[in-house]
Structures are given as structure tokens and as C-alpha cells.
Structure 1
């Protein structure tokens, strides 16, 4: 896997066929951290996560190393939070054909008002073709947090764009690993307590596991490759215990 590094410290890596992880290191109180976006380069390209508004220039530069930014067709995210969609309107201005892509709840409570163009609001289990890739919206309210939360499953490569699940600390994690991410992500969760404690977590994690993802595209830390179903079920066990 070849890594392209920009002057900002942002790196670009292809973690699955034409699915690129764009990762920017930052320093926060207590140590380093990373903000990841995922670009699916296809006939109808999709950027999942925009990054913080102040990161727009570096994320835009990274996207343009892969393709012209005005080709973007969809700008998606898991839930309405600054690191997920803070630069949404900046990307909409740079990509005239692009639509915000989110769930029905996010469109209703936030995105319909915030975004400079109307969102494409997806029903639970709805699939959109990007060309050679397809993405399926999975509504997961309050997993790990926010009423409008959900994830996209890229069905061709079995890549789950899993947002804040399996968040790992550190500013320069490897782009794609096959070693354990449950323990470091659980250590981070115990420290920050950012899960919602929803009683429906196991059922939602089991639904994700049933899709048998082989790549997990995490928003913070390394992406991961392996038996995603087993890992998601192990997370369900841990969440039920504490």
C-alpha cells in the first residue's frame, strides 16, 4: 500500500478498490488524534465525512490529488457533528453537483436547515449506486451517539463506513491494519464515555455483523481488515458489560 503524504501531514491511502482514506493528524489535550475521511472514486463519487470546517483546505487538497473536486456527487456522514460535516457547505460550494447524503432524521432535525442545498435523505436500508460501487444506509440511532446516527455499507468491497465505532487515539496510526483494534478502542471509550448506553446496541451491532464486512473504515485511527462480523459481536459483548 503506497501512502501519499501532503505538506499538512495529511495522508492518502487506498484501503479497498478505489476507496481512499484521507487522514489528518492533530494534537489534542492528552495526546494525538486523527480525523479520517473516505472517498469512493466512481462514476458518482462519494466523500464520507468532510472533517472540521477549518480542515477544509487540506481535505480539499487531498481529494484533488485523487480526482477533480467538482466531480463529487455525494457528501455523506454518520451524524451531525462538526468533525463529520463541519465543512459541508464549503464542499457544496466547490462541487456544484454534490448533494448532502444522510438519513431521514438528520435531514429533518439539522441538515435541511444547515446545508446550502437540500439533502438526499435516505430511508433505512436504502441503497444508492455510485457506478461500480453501491452504498446502503443503515440507521443506528444512538449507536454510538446521536438520534440521527447511521452508517454506510459499501456492498461491492464489503467495506463498512463505521464512523465513531472503534475510535482509536494517536495522530499517526497505520492506514490499514489486521491486528486488534477492539482493546485500544475500548480503552478510548472507557476514558471518554462517548457511547449513548442505548439498550438497543446489541441488536444494531448484530445487524451490522450480519452484513459480514471485511473492511471497517473508522473515522479516528486505523482502518481495519478481517472478520468484521466477529469484531462487531465482540464489541456488542463489551458494550453489554459496561
Structure 2
């Protein structure tokens, strides 16, 4: 792990081949404890950033990414759904990388990004994949899982990494970049204290579809990324959210 900003604690670490986790710890208001925001960078012929971070966090994320590649070479600015921590600094990244475009699902492009972004988005249909070079990412529509009509995830097929957004959100500000320890228990404890799941009736089918991809790394937006039997963990989460 390389700490790229000692004051903020922002750091970057490679968690899979050519795939880097950028992490910034924060303190939540009151006595809510620590939290963290992650972005994921795929280094390839066409570099991709998944999650932008909030707009006010842009200088920290930009600084961290600069330790890996020249930010101006980014080609894809991708995200799961439309929230500040997912795409709040989208336009700042588009200004930094003149050849980059937003990469999102068709619903996000239609209802938000075509208007909000300073450059036209590339809208991926459900199941559509694009090559970055050695890496290949496939978009999966997951409406309302865990929230937002436009929600979806990217599966990176070379490393078998599921860029899974707000699934398995863990509290805490000092968690390891990549773990094989239990994240289901901590993430479900966090969810039950602040229930951000929509509990869509289609959740079981979507969880099973994700499990059938058999990811070996889960790139979570908040907390540690996880390595192991991703299919089993996704199926366990599907059961747990019914409790």
C-alpha cells in the first residue's frame, strides 16, 4: 500500500492484476465512527476508473491515481448509479482526461448523465461488454440492487473481479485493501443500522445471476475488497437480506 496523502490518509494498492483500489478514510459526524470511500482503477490500453468519489474528494483521488498512471490518459469514467460518491466529480475527471467518456447503463444515460455530464456518455446495454486491452468489462443491470433504478455493476473478466458498488458496504476507516476474512457479517450489521437496500422482489434472481459469474474478487465501494468464493458469498447475502 502507498499512502498518497498523509493528511487525509488516501492510499492506493493493487488488489488484482492491473486493478488498483484507491481509498480515502473519513470520520462520520457525531459518534457514527469511521467510514471509507473506494475507487477502482483498471490499468490497460484504455484505462478505466470505476467510481469518481465525491466532488470535494477529487483532489485526493486525482493525486492517488497520479501515482499509478497519468490521469489525462483515462478513457472510461464508470460508475454503478447516480450518487455523489459514485459520480460526483465526473465532470472534473472529464476535464482532466480529454479522451474519456462516462460509461454507464442505458437507464443512467437516459435519465441523468446525458444531461449532467459535460461529454456524452457511452451507454452499455445489459450484458454488453467492452475490451480495455487485456481486460474486458461487462455491464450487468441490477435495478434497485441495492438501490436506484439505474443501478448496475461491471464484471472484469480477466481478473474475475466484480465491481459491486454498494454491495457488502462495511463501516470503518482502517480496513485492509483486500481481505479473505468475513465481510458479510460486518456489512450486514452496517445495513441493519442504516438500511439502504430497496428489497426489490427481483433481488434473488439478480443475486443468482451475479453468483453465476463466479467472481474471485469483490471490489466493494466502502471498506475492504474481498478475495475468495464470490459466488458463495453473493448467495449468502441473498439469504441474509431476507432476515
Distance 2:132 2:173 in 1: 31
Distance 1:10 1:172 in 2: 11
For the pair 1:6 / 2:8, whether they are aligned, the reply is no
SS of equivalent residue, structure 1 residue 66: coil
Aligned to 1:62: 64
Q: 1:78-117 to 2 correspondence within 5 Å?
A: 78-117=80-119
Distance 1:65 1:175 in 2: 16
- The answer as to whether partners of 1:201 and 1:239 remain within 8 angstroms in 2 is no
Aligned to 1:39: 41
- The answer as to whether partners of 2:9 and 2:25 remain within 8 angstroms in 1 is yes
Distance 2:81 2:27 in 1: 23
Distance 2:13 2:28 in 1: 23
Aligned to 1:219: 221
Question: Which consecutive unaligned segments of at least 5 residues does structure 1 have?
Answer: none
Shift of 1:240: 2.3
- Cα deviations by residue, 1:213-235 (Å, 9 ceiling, x for unpaired): 00000000000000000000000
Aligned-residue CA RMSD in angstroms? 0.5
Aligned to 2:76: 74
SS of equivalent residue, structure 2 residue 242: helix
For the pair 1:21 / 2:21, whether they are aligned, the reply is yes
Q: 1:236 aligns with which of 235, 238, 243?
A: 238
TM-score, normalisation: structure 2 = 0.98
Q: 1:112-191 to 2 correspondence within 5 Å?
A: 112-191=114-193
Distance 1:186 1:145 in 2: 15
- Cα deviations by residue, 1:89-139 (Å, 9 ceiling, x for unpaired): 000000000000000000011001000000000000000000000000000
- The answer as to whether partners of 2:147 and 2:196 remain within 8 angstroms in 1 is yes
- The answer as to whether partners of 1:202 and 1:240 remain within 8 angstroms in 2 is no
How many residues matched?
239
Question: Which consecutive unaligned segments of at least 5 residues does structure 2 have?
Answer: none
TM-score, normalisation: structure 1 = 0.98
Distance 1:197 1:19 in 2: 31
- The answer as to whether partners of 1:71 and 1:95 remain within 8 angstroms in 2 is yes
Distance 1:59 1:221 in 2: 16
Distance 1:202 1:181 in 2: 20
Q: Which of 6-15 and 132-141 deviates more?
A: 6-15
Detail structure 1 runs of 4+ shifted over 4 Å in the superposition.
none
